[in-house]
Structure formats: structure tokens, C-alpha cells
Structure 1
Amino acid sequence: MHFLRTITCFLFLVLCLLAPPAVLAEVALEVKISDVAPELSANILARLRIYQQRLNPKLSVGEMRRLHRKAGADIKSALEPLGYYSSRIESALVKTEGGGWHASYIITPGEPVRVHSVVVQVEGPGSGLSLFADLATQFPLQKGAVLHHQHYEEGKKNILSWARRNGFVEARLVKSEIRVRRASHRAEIDLLLDTGHRFLFGKTTFTEGIINQGLLARYLPYKEGEPYSVHALTRLQSILYDTGFFSGVSVEPEFDKMQEQRVPVALELVPALRNRYSFGLGYGTDTGARGKIEWKNRLFNDSGHKVHSSLQLSQKLSKFDAAYQIPINDPRYDALKYAGSWASEEWDDTKTDLLSVASAVSHAGPRYQYGVTFEVRDENYDIGSTSGSSLLLLPKGGWSMVLADNRMNVENGWRFSVEVTGAEKALLSDATFLQAQSGVKGIWSPFDQWRLLGRFTLGATFVDSIDDLPPSLRFYAGGDQSVRGYAYKSIGTKDASGTVIGGRYLTVGSIEMERKINDLWSGAIFYDTGQATDTLDVKLKNSVGFGGRITLPFGQIRMDIGFPLQHEDHFYYLHLNVGADL
């Protein structure tokens, strides 16, 4: 009999081992916790092992009971890093009528532990420096704050980052303690920073034959003798890549050559291809079909000079541009430029040929752009049955500011711009005038996947007669950057024959709502209004429309169909353009 029982037990164990996992361990388990603050709930569920394993097909009843017994410790370990050290948990694990299981946990977090004091002491060679004087007051946890461990860790990280950014590369916290008084719900934070020796930047050496020493020195975000910082070296590498001069940049601190705590820096630079050629075919509503050839010399000499030229041939606008650029002051943003151009443009009954030479000093920073230009323009033109020519010496000043999270594809941002130019007959010019134009464009994302875009432009010219100005200096409206229900430069003052001759004053406004369909495509609807007049009596032309957008790393490809709200020969106009948002 005993033998039969032994054989039966053995066969049962074998069957259990051979049985499919779902037969052995399929447990229907529901886990619920009582309502607590969202931050607490998220941390509890992330640490509660019975919750994490509730859908595991291999979960057995025995394992489930073991995890339930450990749930209290799991919950406490989730609450303590958030400052709750006196929590109470009521737990239950019951079998339901349907054969499943229900685990419930009623949690009372209790009173949180609050910071009573923060002490940050400093020892080592940097202990007497003022840059460490406010470490305690700048710590993210102050007296009365709930003891949040993540904020404590961030505070420690900030202290070390601050020390290392100021040259104390070997800085370390030799003491970091939190003393929790559970009975009084108080905590004391005690930190001790050992600064170690302060390192300074030594001499910077680099691969010769690409750019000269003087130019390189102007790119360095540090000076010899300033506090050493890894952050500054990372920034230097980024700056040098952005110049376009190099295809490879290696920045290495040479600690083995350090003398008197000064760290030499060695740069290994690999030159980029100097000449870049591009060819393209395209279509724009304002230009028609076009072809373009472009040449850039990114490093004409070791002083960082650049050369650029391009030729565009199109149905409506053909032009040639050439420019020579010299870096000045801060070479990342400041430049002296000499340029020449020729342009031949036709629209409706207007044709103009323009020759221009100019010199400009400009600043093109990430937020502000401004500059001064002196330009000589020689323009010959036909407007309807009228022909003319104009020679002008134009001083010009411009300023713009961009506030945006990403200039290419903006979620929220603004752009403001102002430009002023003029000429005087007594100074080698055929006309006397003063012209100013200002604009603002804003982008706002009120909801996820939605953008609201608005733009507004005002322009005014003080001149005796519009006939004194060539077409390139008159104001027109209409086109893909203006009022989209009308053709390019079709809105403006008309002469007796009905030819649009432009105006002295400009008003253009637009509002647009865009909805993202996916990461690539968006749809938009818009309302545009504008006019170019020779008097201040403005009767605006209005249009509505819709369009599609393709979002790419360099901006958007936009196709719009605009419908004029006033009578026009065309029922609609199709516009296509490419560019950044701001």
C-alpha cells in the first residue's frame, strides 16, 4: 500500500512538471490601492511587486501570497523617498466568487517629514571663495519643504556641477547625510564638500594650416588662466563644428602636461571640403519654374573669409549674387560683407533690371540680428507704358529679434523686425525719400497638435511722388508671403491705364490655424488681408483659403490655395513656398 501511494505521488509530481505553465499558474488577480496623490500613486505602483506581476501567466497562488506579504514593505519603500515615513497600510487578499483574486491596500500616508535645517560646509583649497558662499541657500530643499529624495539628489548634483564648472574638477562630497526624526517628522540635511585643487586653462594648441592662431583665439569660450571646465571644452567643440571649416574636431585636455594646476588643451582639427557646389530645379508661385546653381567656399583663407555666389534663372525672376564675407569681433555672429548682384524681374505689366553693390556690417546671433548696409543701386524699369531709371546711394539699418523654442519648426515663438532706409538727392541719388517697415509674427500652440499663426506688417515711405521711386522700393501686396488670394504684387495703387504701380504705404495681416495630422503632414486654414496704397485711405483686400504642410528638418513645404473675397479675374490662386517658420 505504501508503495502504491509513493508511485501515485511520484506520477502526480511528474504530471505537474510536464503540465503547461498556464495550467499551473494561471491566476486572475486584481490589485487596487486607495486614492492617494497622483505622484504617490505612480511611485507606489512602480514599486509594488504584486501589481507588477499581476498579469504574469506564470504567477502561482503561492508566489502571489508571498508578494502580498511583502506589499507593505514595497509601499513604504515607495513613500519614503517622497517624504512619507509614517505611513499605515491595511491590506487584504481575498478569493472572489468567480475564482479570481482581489488584493487591496488602503494607504494612509501620514504626516510628511519636512526639512528642519540644511547645512553645507566647504573644505579644501576653495573653501574661502565667495562662489561657495550661497550653496545652502540655493539648495532645492529649504526649511519647511517636504523631504523629497529626488530634490535632495538634484541638489547634491548641482553643488558638484557648480564646483567643477569653476575649475574644481576633483570636487567631491565627503559627507552627505539626511537625519530623519520620525517622531517629530523633521529632517536635517548635512553636506560637506571637499573642493580639491582648482584647475585653470593652460595654453591651447591646434592643428596648423587650417585657420590662424588669431582667429582660433576668438572662437575659444575661455581664456588662458580662467577656471578649467569640461562644459567649456564641450562648447568649444560645438562652436568649431558650427563654423563649417572642419569635418572633425577633437578636444583633449592634457592633464599629463599640467603645470601649476594649468591644463593645456590640444585640438585635433580635420579640414572640411572648402568648396561646395549645388544644383537645383524647382517651382515657386512668385518665380515660376526655376533652376539654380550655387557655389560656396567655406574657408577661402586661414583668416576665415568666405565666398558665395549663386545664379538663378526662372520665368519671372532671374538673378546673380556674389558675396565676400570677413569675420569680425565675435566670428560666430559678426561679419563684414561685400556683395554685388544683378536681378531681372517681371510681373504683370512691370519689368525691372537692377544692379547693386553693397557693403554691410552685421550681427546674426541666435536671438538678435542687426546690421548697417551701404548700397549703390542702378535700376532700369518699365511700368505699363512708362519707362525710367534710378541711381541711388542707400544707407540702410535693420534689427530683428526671434524668441522661439525652435526656429525651424516652432511650437511657440515670436519674431519682431524693423528696417529703415532712405536716400538724398544731394548725395549721389536721383531721389530723396525715407522708408520704414516693421513686422511681427507669432506662433502659439494652444492645444496639442494645434498651432495658431499670425503676422502683421506695416510700411511707410516719405517721398514727394511714388514716381520718384523704382519698383524695387515701392510697396506691393499679394503673393504667397502676403495676401494669398491674389497674384504676386497684384495689389497696389493703379495708374490711369489700370497698371498696378505700387504704393507708399503697406498694410498686411494674416491669421492661420494649423492642425498636425502626423509627424510629416499638417493641414491649415487662413485669412489674409492687405493693401498697398499711395494715400492713408486704406481699402483692404481680403482672402481665405486652406493648405497642406510637409514638416522637414529645415522647415516646411507649404502649398496653399487662396480665394479672393473681392471680385477678381481668377477664382483662386495656388501658392507654393519652402522655409522656416520664423
Structure 2
Amino acid sequence: MLTKTMQLVKIIVPFLGTVLVCILMQPHQAAAQNRAVPYTATLEGAPSDEAQQAILLQADTFAREDRPPRTRALLRKRVADDLPTIRSILQSLGYYKIQISTDVDTNISPARVSLNITPGPLFRMGTVTLEGVPDNVPLSPQIIGLAPGTPATAAAIRKGEDILLDMLGNHGHPFARSTSRDVVVDHALNQVNILWKIDPGPACTFGPVTITGLDQVNPEFVHRTIAWQEGETFNATAQDTTRMKLLKSGLFGTVRIEHADTPQASGSLPMSIVVQERVPRTVKAGLEYATDTGPGATFSWEHRNLFHDGELLRTRGQINDITQGADVRLMFPAFFGPWQMTTEGALAREYTDAYTSKSITTGMMLERRQTPWLRTGGGVRYRLNTVDDSEGDKKTYGLISVPVFADAVKAAPMLDPTSGWTLKGETAPYLDLLGENIFFVKSRVQGSVYLPLLPSRKLTLALRGALGVLGGTGLQDIPANERFYAGGGGSVRGYAYQKAGDLDDDNDPTGGLSKLECAAELRATFTKTLGGVVFLDGGRAFPDAVPDDLTDLFWGAGAGLRYFTPIGPLRLDAAFPLNKRNSIDDAFQIYISIGQAF
């Protein structure tokens, strides 16, 4: 028994001793692990903000300042290891005569690291030689953005190669490639010379087209949309244009356009278009609220392929305390070559302080997309209209009009623009066919600009201006519902609907022969789903055809919240009239709807 006990003791004692040693050593190991050389780092002499930011992000001396090394030697090694990185960054920005001095002072706590850069002169492009480019391709250093004297940055050189290959692809050479790019830095002249060797590949023309994935859509619709003709010189841009046009038709969820891996012996390059159709019908509904117009609802239903050739049938309805109406439109996408035709009909009732009206409208419009961002068109409309104005005069009009319009949109993204601009204009002569012998011309123009104030586009300044003019007859002869009015959620926020203008003795709007509006809105994005705005709106309706006193505008200011959704921002605005009229204007107005104010 004693022998067994001794054997057990011989086993346990060494084990316990080992455990004790580990426990006693643990604080010392932890202390060793926690020992570090904290430091502060400064950077001087960076030639630009871009260089400064790149170095701070990529050099460990700065990027890992919150994770200091364990020893002084490792700190010096970290700084030394960063020097090639810093040189590479500066060379990519066009600086090749670089001097970098470092100072690592570890005798103080925290240690101090200083890096001072003398970047030298900015090197610029010298000669750019392009070998192998076919004679029919108009390429030059200027066209690819590398004209002599431009900064010799790596980004410019990469972009130049992209432009070079794109140009070749747009002039019949889809298989072009750069076989070599020799970049020679001339330190004597402070310039960079480049020799590009290009293999253009075979010259190609558009070949036969194969379309797959169609079910309900007529293949002829796709053929009409194709932006090239068989036998034409291959053009890569035509592929992109066709793809975008097919997607914008709303008929397809995905569109893929590819060419064969090799051309035929004649140079003809077979093309394939692979599509996936969308469900052609869509139902939409929305709710809104404004202090002046009360609660409201909108709804729509559309069929984007009514007769299997891309015809669009759309019905819409709106109801609130002021407006109740519905309209239907049928659009034929290729009625006459590139022109599309839209037939339309509408029923509407309006109950405003200025007038009460009931109308039936029918019309036909032709329009054409001149460029990806510009539409123009014109047509004819007839409106049978019964109007009872604020003075108790009830008249029926049969107005025929011939509107023409232009609509330019270069703002993006579409549902919540943060850059770009829009400009829309329309004019139409009106003639009454029911005996009132009224003729007038109504013209409107409206534009907006979106200016990103931060590179992240989380702060945007949005500006809007609008002008409307009526000419040809006096104010009293024009139907009350065709006059211009200002005020309300889509006009001058802070004032009731149509109330930013002259009023009669009963404080009802009289309308005007002209209208001027302007707005400025600062839009901020806080998170992926939440944003806010502050805004200033101004404008009014004027009794004369030319706005006569711009100092007499009504101004409103306010703030709002935005909740971002896939179908656009949900908008909540509170606006206050800065020119409040006693017993006429409320202290504030509230607006709730989907979409930005403009």
C-alpha cells in the first residue's frame, strides 16, 4: 500500500509543479505580450490630397498606428518596409524624383515617427507611339487622353489603354489586344514615353443574329431594337445601346449580347442575344398626405406587351380632397420608324378654392428618343371642360391644343438623383371650338441641377427652377383651370395649394398669366435607409404674362426626413411660410409622399 502511495506521489508532485510554474509564468508572458512601443506618426510633403490619403491608407506606419510593434527594432523595420510602398504610390501619381527622409525617435514615450517627402517635379507625357493600329481607326495620343504635357499618372495610362481598345472595338476590331506596353521614364526631361504594340485582330462586320429566350414577345420587336445592321462594321457601342434599349422596354429582366469567338472567313461575326422575359403586368399603389390637399391615394396598372410587340397599356388613378381622376394610355413603340405613338384618354374632377371643373380629355402624341437622354415629340389633344370659377361664372369649353415638347434627363440615379441635370419644356396653342372664340398659347419650362458636395455623394445640393407663360388673351378670358397657380407640395412648400399668388375678396386664388418658381434643397444621407433635407422654396403666380416684380415672391422654408426604399425615398416634409398672411396662411404645412420633391 505504501509503495503504491509513493508511486502516486511521484506522479502527482511533478504534475502539480508543472502547473504551478505555468501559473507563475503566465503574468510574465502576458506582460511580455502586452509590451509594445506606442508611437505617433506624421507625414509631411505629400504633393496632393490624393497622395496623402493613399499613403495614410496603404502604409502600415499610419494604417496600423493603433497596433504598435513589440520592439523598437520592429518599429524601425515597419517604417523601412513602407518606403517602397510610398515610392510606388508617388510614382503612380507621376512623381519619379522622390526623396523620403525618416526620423524614428524611440527615446520618448510614445515614440515619434516622422516621414518627410520631397516629391520632385510632376512628370508629364512625352511621346506616345502606337504600333499596329489600322489606318481606318482615328487613334492618337490626344484621343486616348495622353497628349504631350498631360500628367503621367498610372490611372491615365490605364484609362488610355481602355480607350484605345474600345476605339478599336468600335471600328471593327473586337479581338484587339495590347501585346506590350513599354514605359520609359526620362529623368533628364522629366517626362514619360510610351511605346504601345497593338494586335488589332481580324477586321469584322456584324453577322447573323440568333435570339433565344423569347416566349410572349414577338422576335420582330427585338430585331427592330437592334442598333446595327447585318454587314455593317462591328461596333461594340451598338451592343451596349441595344442591351440598354431592350432593358428599358420593361419586357426583359436580363439581356446578354455576345459575339462568336471567331469570325467567319468573310469577316462576318455571328451575334447572339439571350433574354429572359419579365412578367408583363404590374400593379402599383401609393398613399400620400398633405395639410392642404388632405389624404390621398394613387394606383396604376400596366401591361407592357399587350399585343406581343411591346405595346404598353397603362391606367392610372388619383384621389384626394381636391382631385379625383383616372387616365388610360396605349403606346405603340414603333408606329412610324423610330417614332412611337401614344393614344390617351382621361376623366377628371377638381375642387379647389379657385375653381371647380369636370373634364374629358383625349389625344394622340408622337415622340422620338433622339439620344439616350433626350426625347422630343408633339401631337394633338381635345378637352371638353366645364369650369365654375371662384366668381360663380360657369362655362363649358371645347379646347383643342397642339402641344410640342422636349425632355432632357441626365440625372442619376433615377429615383433619387445625386448628380446631373434635367430640363423640360412644352408649348401648346389652344383654341376653343364651342363658341367662346378664345385663343391662347401656354408655355412651360422647368429645370433641375444636382450637385454632389462629397465624393461619397452623401450630401447633395439640389436646385430647381420653373417658368410658365400664357399669351394671346387676357386673364379673365382664359379658363380658370388653365391659368397658372403656385403653392403646395410640388410648388412652393409652406403655402396651401394654389395660394402663392393674388387672391380675390374671398381669399380665393385668381391664378395668373405667368408663374415663377425656384427651390434649393440640401439632401444628406445618414444611413442606408435614413436621410434628411433642409430646403428653401420661392415663387408665385403673376397676373401679367411677364413676371413683373421678383421681389414679391412668396418664400417657404423647412426640413424633412427621407426613408429610402427600392421604389424611391419616402418623404416627410414640414414647411413654414416666411411671408405669412394673417387669416390666410397656416403656420405650417406637412407633406407625406413617395419620391423626392424634385
Residue of structure 2 aligned with 1:217, choices 218, 223, 229: 223
Question: Match of 1:211, SS?
Answer: coil
Q: Which moved more, 1:370-379 or 1:322-331?
A: 322-331
Residue of structure 2 aligned with 1:277, choices 266, 274, 283: 283
Pair 1:392-2:399 in alignment: yes
Equivalent runs, 1:515-530 vs 2, <5 Å:
516=524, 518-519=526-527, 520-530=530-540
Residue of structure 2 aligned with 1:340, choices 341, 345, 353: 345
2-side partners of 1:80 and 1:536: how far apart? 59
Instruction: Give the Å deviation of 1:203.
Output: 1.4
User: Is the Cα contact below 8 Å between 1:83 and 1:146 reproduced in 2?
Assistant: yes
2:107 is matched with which residue?
Answer: 96
Amino acid at match of 1:471: A
1:6 is matched with which residue?
Answer: none
Cα gap change, 1:93 to 1:330, in 2 (>3 Å): farther
Pair 1:559-2:577 in alignment: no
Q: Which moved more, 1:162-171 or 1:314-323?
A: 162-171
Equivalent runs, 1:333-482 vs 2, <5 Å:
334-348=339-353, 350-363=355-368, 367-383=373-389, 384-411=391-418, 413-424=420-431, 430-443=436-449, 445=451, 449=459, 451=461, 453-463=463-473, 466=476, 468-482=477-491
Pair 1:502-2:507 in alignment: no
Residue of structure 1 aligned with 2:589, choices 552, 574, 578: 574
2-side partners of 1:258 and 1:485: how far apart? 68
After superposition, give the CA deviation of every residue in 1:213-267 in whole Å (9 maximum; x if it has no partner).
4432231132222344555434433322221112343434343784533222223
Pair 1:311-2:317 in alignment: yes
So what's the TM-score if we normalise by structure 1?
A: 0.81
Instruction: Give the Å deviation of 1:204.
Output: 1.4
Question: Match of 1:309, SS?
Answer: strand
Amino acid at match of 2:209: T
Number of residue-to-residue matches in the alignment? 561
1:5 is matched with which residue?
Answer: none
Amino acid at match of 1:422: P
Question: Match of 1:19, SS?
Answer: helix
Cα gap change, 1:490 to 1:16, in 2 (>3 Å): closer
User: Is the Cα contact below 8 Å between 1:21 and 1:57 reproduced in 2?
Assistant: no
Amino acid at match of 2:568: F
Instruction: Give the Å deviation of 1:451.
Output: 2.6
Amino acid at match of 1:206: I
User: Is the Cα contact below 8 Å between 1:376 and 1:392 reproduced in 2?
Assistant: yes
After superposition, give the CA deviation of every residue in 1:142-180 in whole Å (9 maximum; x if it has no partner).
445564344333333332332234332332223321234
User: Is the Cα contact below 8 Å between 1:503 and 1:534 reproduced in 2?
Assistant: no
Q: Which moved more, 1:299-308 or 1:545-554?
A: 545-554
Amino acid at match of 2:342: K
**Identity %, equivalent residues:** 19
User: Is the Cα contact below 8 Å between 1:112 and 1:185 reproduced in 2?
Assistant: yes
Question: Match of 1:131, SS?
Answer: coil
Instruction: Give the Å deviation of 1:401.
Output: 3.6
Equivalent runs, 1:170-185 vs 2, <5 Å:
170-182=175-187
1-side partners of 2:408 and 2:310: how far apart? 26
Instruction: Give the Å deviation of 1:515.
Output: 5.3
Instruction: Give the Å deviation of 1:354.
Output: 0.6
Question: Match of 1:514, SS?
Answer: strand
- Structure 2 spans left out of the alignment, 5+ residues: 1-20
Cα gap change, 1:415 to 1:31, in 2 (>3 Å): closer
RMSD: 4.0
User: Is the Cα contact below 8 Å between 1:479 and 1:575 reproduced in 2?
Assistant: no
Amino acid at match of 1:189: I
2-side partners of 1:77 and 1:277: how far apart? 56
1-side partners of 2:354 and 2:172: how far apart? 68
Cα gap change, 1:500 to 1:422, in 2 (>3 Å): farther
2-side partners of 1:269 and 1:35: how far apart? 55
2:257 is matched with which residue?
Answer: 251
Instruction: Give the Å deviation of 1:358.
Output: 1.0
User: Is the Cα contact below 8 Å between 2:461 and 2:522 reproduced in 1?
Assistant: yes
Equivalent runs, 1:109-258 vs 2, <5 Å:
109-110=119-120, 115-122=125-132, 127-132=133-138, 134-144=139-149, 147-182=152-187, 187-207=192-212, 208-228=214-234, 232-255=238-261, 258=264
2-side partners of 1:538 and 1:114: how far apart? 55
1-side partners of 2:544 and 2:142: how far apart? 63
1:4 is matched with which residue?
Answer: none
Q: Which moved more, 1:518-527 or 1:69-78?
A: 69-78
2-side partners of 1:227 and 1:557: how far apart? 49
Q: Which moved more, 1:80-89 or 1:233-242?
A: 80-89
2:554 is matched with which residue?
Answer: 542
Instruction: Give the Å deviation of 1:326.
Output: 0.8
Amino acid at match of 2:437: A
1-side partners of 2:77 and 2:493: how far apart? 70
Cα gap change, 1:85 to 1:169, in 2 (>3 Å): same
Amino acid at match of 1:477: A
Amino acid at match of 1:261: G
Cα gap change, 1:33 to 1:532, in 2 (>3 Å): closer
2-side partners of 1:474 and 1:47: how far apart? 62
User: Is the Cα contact below 8 Å between 1:95 and 1:101 reproduced in 2?
Assistant: yes
